[in-house]
Amino acid sequence: MTRTALVTGSAGFIGYFTAKALLDQGWRVVGLDSLSDYYDVNLKERRHAMLLQSAGFTAVTQKLETPNVLHDLFEEHQFDAVIHLAAQAGVRYSIDAPRSYVEANLVGTFELLEAARAFPPAHMLLASTSSVYGANTQMPYTEADKVEAQMSFYAATKKATEAMAHSYAHLYHVPITMFRFFTVYGPWGRPDMAHFKFTRAILNGDPIEIYNHGKMQRDFTYIDDLVRGITALIDAVPPMPGSDPIDGDSLSPVAPHRVVNIGTGSPVQLMDFIQAIETAIGQDAQKIYKDMQPGDVPATWADATLLKTLTGTAPVTPIETGIQAFVDWYRDYYQT
Protein backbone atom coordinates (compact mmCIF):
# COMPACT_ATOMS: atom_id res chain seq x y z
CA MET A 1 0.00 0.00 0.00
CA THR A 2 1.40 3.39 -1.00
CA ARG A 3 2.13 5.71 1.88
CA THR A 4 1.67 9.46 1.74
CA ALA A 5 3.99 12.06 3.24
CA LEU A 6 3.81 15.80 3.71
CA VAL A 7 7.13 17.56 3.21
CA THR A 8 7.05 21.22 4.19
CA GLY A 9 9.70 23.41 2.59
CA SER A 10 9.77 21.06 -0.41
CA ALA A 11 11.28 23.67 -2.74
CA GLY A 12 14.11 24.24 -0.28
CA PHE A 13 17.53 22.62 -0.35
CA ILE A 14 16.87 19.85 2.19
CA GLY A 15 13.16 19.62 1.38
CA TYR A 16 13.81 18.95 -2.30
CA PHE A 17 16.22 16.09 -1.65
CA THR A 18 13.98 14.61 1.06
CA ALA A 19 10.93 14.68 -1.21
CA LYS A 20 12.95 13.16 -4.05
CA ALA A 21 14.21 10.34 -1.83
CA LEU A 22 10.67 9.51 -0.70
CA LEU A 23 9.37 9.53 -4.29
CA ASP A 24 12.21 7.19 -5.27
CA GLN A 25 11.09 4.88 -2.44
CA GLY A 26 7.53 4.79 -3.81
CA TRP A 27 5.83 7.31 -1.52
CA ARG A 28 3.23 9.81 -2.60
CA VAL A 29 4.49 13.24 -1.53
CA VAL A 30 2.62 16.49 -0.98
CA GLY A 31 5.10 19.34 -0.97
CA LEU A 32 4.23 22.65 0.67
CA ASP A 33 6.38 25.71 0.07
CA SER A 34 5.72 29.45 -0.03
CA LEU A 35 8.57 30.07 -2.51
CA SER A 36 9.69 33.03 -0.39
CA ASP A 37 12.23 35.48 -1.76
CA TYR A 38 14.77 34.97 1.07
CA TYR A 39 17.05 33.76 -1.71
CA ASP A 40 16.81 33.18 -5.47
CA VAL A 41 13.25 32.03 -6.20
CA ASN A 42 14.37 30.60 -9.55
CA LEU A 43 16.40 28.00 -7.67
CA LYS A 44 13.33 26.99 -5.67
CA GLU A 45 11.15 26.83 -8.76
CA ARG A 46 13.70 24.61 -10.51
CA ARG A 47 13.70 22.20 -7.57
CA HIS A 48 9.89 21.97 -7.58
CA ALA A 49 9.85 21.54 -11.35
CA MET A 50 12.13 18.52 -11.04
CA LEU A 51 9.89 17.00 -8.35
CA LEU A 52 6.81 17.59 -10.52
CA GLN A 53 8.29 15.24 -13.12
CA SER A 54 7.10 12.48 -10.78
CA ALA A 55 3.39 11.61 -10.90
CA GLY A 56 3.54 10.97 -7.16
CA PHE A 57 4.34 14.59 -6.27
CA THR A 58 1.79 17.32 -5.58
CA ALA A 59 2.99 20.90 -5.08
CA VAL A 60 1.13 23.35 -2.86
CA THR A 61 2.31 26.97 -2.91
CA GLN A 62 1.17 28.46 0.39
CA LYS A 63 2.62 29.97 3.53
CA LEU A 64 2.86 27.54 6.40
CA GLU A 65 1.43 30.07 8.84
CA THR A 66 -1.73 30.81 6.83
CA PRO A 67 -4.71 29.64 8.94
CA ASN A 68 -6.43 26.42 7.81
CA VAL A 69 -4.00 25.65 4.97
CA LEU A 70 -2.38 22.79 6.87
CA HIS A 71 -5.62 21.72 8.52
CA ASP A 72 -7.23 21.26 5.11
CA LEU A 73 -4.22 19.36 3.72
CA PHE A 74 -4.17 17.00 6.71
CA GLU A 75 -7.89 16.38 6.38
CA GLU A 76 -7.66 15.69 2.64
CA HIS A 77 -4.62 13.42 2.60
CA GLN A 78 -4.51 11.64 6.02
CA PHE A 79 -0.71 11.64 6.01
CA ASP A 80 1.27 8.62 7.15
CA ALA A 81 4.34 10.77 7.81
CA VAL A 82 5.01 14.48 8.10
CA ILE A 83 8.50 15.89 7.60
CA HIS A 84 8.57 19.53 8.63
CA LEU A 85 11.49 21.36 7.03
CA ALA A 86 9.91 24.72 6.22
CA ALA A 87 11.43 27.52 8.27
CA GLN A 88 13.00 30.92 8.05
CA ALA A 89 16.64 29.92 8.10
CA GLY A 90 19.86 31.80 8.75
CA VAL A 91 21.60 32.86 11.95
CA ARG A 92 22.66 36.30 10.69
CA TYR A 93 19.40 37.23 8.98
CA SER A 94 17.56 36.66 12.25
CA ILE A 95 19.28 39.76 13.61
CA ASP A 96 17.91 41.89 10.77
CA ALA A 97 14.43 40.40 10.34
CA PRO A 98 13.36 38.63 13.55
CA ARG A 99 9.63 38.92 12.86
CA SER A 100 9.91 36.60 9.87
CA TYR A 101 11.26 33.93 12.23
CA VAL A 102 8.30 34.33 14.58
CA GLU A 103 5.84 34.00 11.70
CA ALA A 104 7.43 31.07 9.85
CA ASN A 105 9.06 29.13 12.67
CA LEU A 106 6.70 29.69 15.60
CA VAL A 107 3.30 30.44 14.06
CA GLY A 108 3.92 28.06 11.17
CA THR A 109 4.88 25.20 13.47
CA PHE A 110 1.85 25.93 15.65
CA GLU A 111 -0.43 25.57 12.61
CA LEU A 112 1.28 22.27 11.78
CA LEU A 113 0.84 20.92 15.30
CA GLU A 114 -2.81 21.96 15.39
CA ALA A 115 -3.43 20.14 12.10
CA ALA A 116 -1.70 17.04 13.47
CA ARG A 117 -3.83 17.19 16.61
CA ALA A 118 -6.96 17.07 14.47
CA PHE A 119 -5.68 14.44 12.01
CA PRO A 120 -2.76 12.56 13.63
CA PRO A 121 -0.15 11.03 11.31
CA ALA A 122 1.70 7.87 12.29
CA HIS A 123 4.88 9.90 12.83
CA MET A 124 5.93 13.53 12.62
CA LEU A 125 9.58 14.51 12.08
CA LEU A 126 10.42 18.15 12.72
CA ALA A 127 13.68 19.84 11.81
CA SER A 128 15.66 21.51 14.54
CA THR A 129 19.29 22.58 14.35
CA SER A 130 22.70 22.24 15.96
CA SER A 131 22.39 25.96 16.71
CA VAL A 132 20.18 25.11 19.70
CA TYR A 133 23.31 23.89 21.52
CA GLY A 134 24.36 27.54 21.60
CA ALA A 135 26.98 28.35 24.21
CA ASN A 136 27.63 24.70 25.10
CA THR A 137 31.36 24.04 25.03
CA GLN A 138 31.44 20.35 25.95
CA MET A 139 31.68 18.32 22.76
CA PRO A 140 30.58 16.27 20.99
CA TYR A 141 27.02 17.49 21.49
CA THR A 142 24.67 14.77 22.72
CA GLU A 143 20.89 14.81 22.67
CA ALA A 144 20.86 14.72 26.48
CA ASP A 145 22.81 18.00 26.80
CA LYS A 146 21.01 20.97 28.28
CA VAL A 147 20.18 23.53 25.59
CA GLU A 148 19.41 26.71 27.48
CA ALA A 149 21.80 29.30 26.05
CA GLN A 150 20.98 29.92 22.38
CA MET A 151 23.23 32.50 20.71
CA SER A 152 20.86 33.71 17.98
CA PHE A 153 17.17 34.42 17.62
CA TYR A 154 17.01 31.79 14.88
CA ALA A 155 18.27 29.18 17.36
CA ALA A 156 15.84 30.43 20.00
CA THR A 157 12.87 29.93 17.67
CA LYS A 158 14.01 26.41 16.81
CA LYS A 159 14.42 25.53 20.49
CA ALA A 160 10.91 26.90 21.04
CA THR A 161 9.54 24.58 18.34
CA GLU A 162 11.13 21.63 20.16
CA ALA A 163 9.26 22.62 23.32
CA MET A 164 6.02 23.20 21.42
CA ALA A 165 6.27 19.80 19.76
CA HIS A 166 6.96 18.08 23.07
CA SER A 167 3.82 19.57 24.61
CA TYR A 168 1.66 18.33 21.72
CA ALA A 169 3.27 14.89 21.85
CA HIS A 170 2.43 14.73 25.56
CA LEU A 171 -1.07 16.17 25.40
CA TYR A 172 -2.30 14.45 22.23
CA HIS A 173 0.00 11.38 21.95
CA VAL A 174 1.27 12.35 18.50
CA PRO A 175 4.67 10.63 17.99
CA ILE A 176 7.27 13.30 17.18
CA THR A 177 10.98 13.13 16.38
CA MET A 178 13.01 16.33 16.44
CA PHE A 179 16.14 15.93 14.35
CA ARG A 180 18.99 18.39 14.89
CA PHE A 181 21.09 18.69 11.76
CA PHE A 182 24.57 20.10 11.47
CA THR A 183 25.85 22.44 8.71
CA VAL A 184 24.43 20.80 5.60
CA TYR A 185 26.05 21.28 2.20
CA GLY A 186 25.86 19.87 -1.30
CA PRO A 187 24.45 20.45 -4.81
CA TRP A 188 21.37 22.66 -5.10
CA GLY A 189 22.31 24.27 -1.77
CA ARG A 190 21.26 27.64 -0.38
CA PRO A 191 23.16 30.63 -1.83
CA ASP A 192 23.55 32.18 1.64
CA MET A 193 25.61 29.25 2.93
CA ALA A 194 29.40 29.27 3.17
CA HIS A 195 30.23 26.66 0.54
CA PHE A 196 28.02 28.46 -1.98
CA LYS A 197 29.39 31.94 -1.21
CA PHE A 198 33.02 30.78 -1.18
CA THR A 199 32.67 28.96 -4.50
CA ARG A 200 30.95 31.90 -6.17
CA ALA A 201 33.55 34.36 -4.92
CA ILE A 202 36.56 32.27 -5.93
CA LEU A 203 35.21 31.66 -9.43
CA ASN A 204 34.44 35.38 -9.80
CA GLY A 205 37.88 36.37 -8.58
CA ASP A 206 36.44 38.07 -5.49
CA PRO A 207 37.85 37.77 -1.95
CA ILE A 208 36.14 35.61 0.67
CA GLU A 209 35.50 36.74 4.24
CA ILE A 210 36.68 34.34 6.93
CA TYR A 211 35.23 34.94 10.38
CA ASN A 212 36.93 34.44 13.73
CA HIS A 213 40.18 34.59 11.73
CA GLY A 214 39.58 31.04 10.54
CA LYS A 215 39.51 29.55 14.03
CA MET A 216 36.24 27.73 13.54
CA GLN A 217 35.14 24.16 12.97
CA ARG A 218 31.88 22.64 11.84
CA ASP A 219 30.37 19.18 11.68
CA PHE A 220 29.70 19.51 7.94
CA THR A 221 27.04 17.04 6.78
CA TYR A 222 26.59 16.12 3.12
CA ILE A 223 23.02 16.37 1.88
CA ASP A 224 22.72 12.69 0.85
CA ASP A 225 23.80 11.59 4.33
CA LEU A 226 21.30 13.91 6.00
CA VAL A 227 18.41 12.73 3.85
CA ARG A 228 19.33 9.09 4.41
CA GLY A 229 19.12 9.75 8.14
CA ILE A 230 15.78 11.58 7.90
CA THR A 231 14.08 8.91 5.80
CA ALA A 232 15.48 6.09 7.95
CA LEU A 233 13.99 7.73 11.03
CA ILE A 234 10.44 7.62 9.62
CA ASP A 235 9.91 4.07 10.85
CA ALA A 236 11.78 4.67 14.14
CA VAL A 237 8.61 5.92 15.79
CA PRO A 238 9.04 7.15 19.38
CA PRO A 239 7.06 4.88 21.69
CA MET A 240 4.96 5.89 24.62
CA PRO A 241 7.00 6.62 27.76
CA GLY A 242 8.87 3.87 29.56
CA SER A 243 9.17 1.35 26.74
CA ASP A 244 12.38 2.10 24.85
CA PRO A 245 15.56 1.77 26.94
CA ILE A 246 17.97 2.42 24.04
CA ASP A 247 17.08 6.10 23.89
CA GLY A 248 18.30 7.16 27.29
CA ASP A 249 17.70 10.84 27.95
CA SER A 250 16.77 11.65 24.33
CA LEU A 251 13.35 10.04 24.76
CA SER A 252 10.87 12.05 26.80
CA PRO A 253 9.75 10.47 30.09
CA VAL A 254 6.20 11.74 29.52
CA ALA A 255 5.59 11.78 25.76
CA PRO A 256 6.28 9.87 22.50
CA HIS A 257 8.93 12.45 21.66
CA ARG A 258 12.64 12.11 21.02
CA VAL A 259 15.55 14.23 19.81
CA VAL A 260 18.14 12.86 17.34
CA ASN A 261 21.35 14.44 16.06
CA ILE A 262 22.13 13.98 12.36
CA GLY A 263 25.81 14.81 11.86
CA THR A 264 29.04 13.13 10.86
CA GLY A 265 30.67 13.14 14.28
CA SER A 266 33.86 14.41 12.60
CA PRO A 267 34.21 18.21 12.73
CA VAL A 268 36.25 19.90 10.01
CA GLN A 269 38.39 22.99 10.49
CA LEU A 270 37.08 25.94 8.47
CA MET A 271 40.43 26.41 6.74
CA ASP A 272 40.41 22.74 5.67
CA PHE A 273 36.88 23.24 4.32
CA ILE A 274 38.08 26.23 2.29
CA GLN A 275 41.07 24.26 1.04
CA ALA A 276 38.72 21.52 -0.20
CA ILE A 277 36.81 24.14 -2.20
CA GLU A 278 40.07 25.60 -3.59
CA THR A 279 41.21 22.11 -4.61
CA ALA A 280 37.90 21.28 -6.29
CA ILE A 281 37.96 24.56 -8.23
CA GLY A 282 41.69 24.49 -8.91
CA GLN A 283 42.18 28.04 -7.72
CA ASP A 284 43.23 29.67 -4.45
CA ALA A 285 40.95 32.11 -2.67
CA GLN A 286 41.78 35.69 -1.77
CA LYS A 287 41.18 35.76 1.96
CA ILE A 288 39.99 38.54 4.27
CA TYR A 289 40.08 37.61 7.94
CA LYS A 290 37.45 39.09 10.25
CA ASP A 291 36.22 38.86 13.84
CA MET A 292 33.40 36.52 14.85
CA GLN A 293 29.93 37.63 13.77
CA PRO A 294 27.16 38.19 16.34
CA GLY A 295 25.10 35.08 17.03
CA ASP A 296 27.71 32.67 15.65
CA VAL A 297 29.57 29.94 17.54
CA PRO A 298 33.17 28.78 17.06
CA ALA A 299 32.48 25.06 16.79
CA THR A 300 29.86 22.34 16.34
CA TRP A 301 30.32 18.59 16.72
CA ALA A 302 27.61 15.93 16.73
CA ASP A 303 27.48 12.69 18.64
CA ALA A 304 25.63 10.53 16.08
CA THR A 305 25.53 7.38 18.21
CA LEU A 306 21.75 7.47 18.67
CA LEU A 307 21.08 7.92 14.95
CA LYS A 308 23.15 4.83 14.18
CA THR A 309 21.47 2.87 16.98
CA LEU A 310 17.98 3.72 15.73
CA THR A 311 18.57 3.38 11.99
CA GLY A 312 21.80 1.50 11.42
CA THR A 313 23.10 4.41 9.36
CA ALA A 314 25.28 7.45 9.96
CA PRO A 315 26.78 10.14 7.68
CA VAL A 316 29.93 8.92 5.92
CA THR A 317 30.70 11.22 2.95
CA PRO A 318 34.22 12.71 3.14
CA ILE A 319 34.36 16.51 2.86
CA GLU A 320 36.49 16.32 -0.30
CA THR A 321 33.92 14.12 -2.05
CA GLY A 322 30.98 16.27 -1.04
CA ILE A 323 32.65 19.54 -1.98
CA GLN A 324 33.71 18.19 -5.37
CA ALA A 325 30.10 17.20 -6.07
CA PHE A 326 28.91 20.68 -5.12
CA VAL A 327 31.50 22.49 -7.24
CA ASP A 328 30.72 20.26 -10.23
CA TRP A 329 27.01 21.08 -9.85
CA TYR A 330 27.71 24.80 -9.43
CA ARG A 331 29.85 24.97 -12.58
CA ASP A 332 27.18 23.14 -14.57
CA TYR A 333 24.22 25.11 -13.21
CA TYR A 334 25.82 28.53 -13.61
CA GLN A 335 27.91 27.59 -16.67
CA THR A 336 31.16 28.86 -15.14
Answer whether residue 215 is part of any domain: no
Domain count, the chain: 1
Mean pLDDT estimate for the chain: 94
C-alpha to C-alpha distance for 231 and 235, rounded to whole angstroms: 8
Residue 195, in any domain of the structure = no
Residue 94 domain flag = yes
C-beta separation of 197 from 204 below 8 A: no
Instruction: Judge if pTM exceeds 0.85.
Output: yes
Q: Within 13 Å and on the Cβ side, how many CA atoms surround 236? A: 25
Domain containing 93 — which CATH number?
3.40.50.720
Residues with catalytic roles: 154
Report whether 168 contacts 161 (CB < 8 A): no
Residue 303's identity, in one-letter code, is D
Q: Is residue 326 part of a domain?
A: no
pLDDT tens digits, 259-280: 999 999 889 999 999 999 999 9
199 occurs within a structural domain = no
Does a structural domain hold residue 192? no
- Taking the C-alpha atoms of residue 223 and residue 225, their distance in angstroms, rounded to an integer, is 5
Cα 83 to Cα 4, 122, 166, distances in angstroms? 11, 12, 16
Identify whether 191 is preceded by a cis peptide bond (ω within 30 of 0): no
Identify whether the C-beta of residue 280 lies closer than 8 Å to the C-beta of residue 324.
yes
Q: Quick check: 105 and 87 in contact, CB under 8 A?
A: yes
In this structure, what are the phi and psi dihedrals at residue 286, rounded to the nearest 5 degrees?
-80, 125
* pLDDT tens column, 128-148: 999 999 988 888 999 999 998
The whole-number pLDDT of residue 103 equals 95
Boundaries of domain holding 39: 4-185+220-266+301-316
Does 293 map to a domain? no
Residue 287 inside a domain? The answer is no
Residue 10's pLDDT band, with cuts at 50, 70 and 90, is: very high
The residues with which 208 forms a beta bridge, in sequence order, are: 287
Residue of 242 and 275 predicted with greater confidence: 275
